[in-house]
């Protein structure tokens, strides 16, 4: 699918803008590498396994560079506006299948980070902690709505497959192609 196809969907654009708002930790209207590094550090702390710290930091740097900045070189001064993120994300998700494969790999790693008790499933409480790390604060109602949208079988936990499909669906599906609209970051705004 072309970037223009994604950009033609007001629902998809709103999804990306919702992600932007969640990731703009200081509310200045820009995403920076420092914000992604801070989130990576909080996820490392949540996971409690320092042996994976470098892999998590590398993942977040690559996410910022390849999706948020659209493949451009990044440094401490790189600032991406909401409008730039929307355009860059549309371009990034259109590079199929490589973008989808990278997305799946990223979400495999995220699942393992969030599943802090190593049960093979993500509990509601684990998901709340994950979203609190992203947003910089606990938002139980947002987290519960996000959790419920991904827990497609309604059994009270998120499997690896549900997690990956929910996140991939959010980024890689044009809303007209998919009736179920996963909301892994909470209601779209």
What pLDDT was estimated at residue 110? 87
pTM of the model: 0.86
157-159/121-123 β-pairing: antiparallel
Measured CA to CA, the distance from residue 103 to residue 101 in angstroms comes to 5
Residue 186 lies in a domain: no
Q: Which segments in the chain show pLDDT lower than 50?
A: none
Residue 110 lies in a domain: yes
Residue 54 lies in a domain: yes
What count of Cα atoms within 13 Å lies in the side-chain half-sphere of residue 65?
A: 12
Domain that holds residue 162: 3-175
Residue 108 lies in a domain: yes
Residue 133 lies in a domain: yes
Name the domain count of the chain.
1
CATH of residue 148's domain is 1.10.238.10
What pLDDT was estimated at residue 103? 80
What pLDDT was estimated at residue 169? 86
């Amino acid at each position: 699918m072309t970037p223009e196809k994604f950009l033609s969907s007001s629902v998809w654009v709103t999804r990306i803008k919702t992600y932007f708002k969640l990731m703009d930790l200081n509310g200045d209207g820009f995403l920076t590498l420092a914000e992604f590094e801070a989130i990576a550090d909080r996820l490392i702390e949540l996971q409690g396994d320092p042996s994976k710290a470098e892999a998590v930091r590398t993942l977040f740097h690559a996410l910022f560079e390849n999706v948020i900045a659209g493949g451009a070189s990044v440094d401490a001064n790189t600032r991406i506006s909401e409008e730039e993120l929307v355009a860059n994300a549309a371009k990034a998700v259109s590079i199929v299948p490589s973008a989808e494969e990278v997305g799946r790999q990223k979400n495999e790693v995220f699942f393992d980070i969030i599943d802090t008790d190593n049960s093979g499933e993500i509990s509601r409480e684990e998901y709340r902690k994950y979203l609190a790390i992203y947003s910089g604060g606990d938002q139980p109602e947002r987290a519960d709505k996000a959790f419920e949208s991904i827990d497609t079988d309604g059994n009270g936990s998120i499997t690896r497959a549900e997690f990956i499909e929910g996140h991939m669906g959010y980024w890689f599906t044009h809303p007209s192609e998919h009736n179920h609209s996963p909301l892994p970051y909470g209601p779209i705004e």
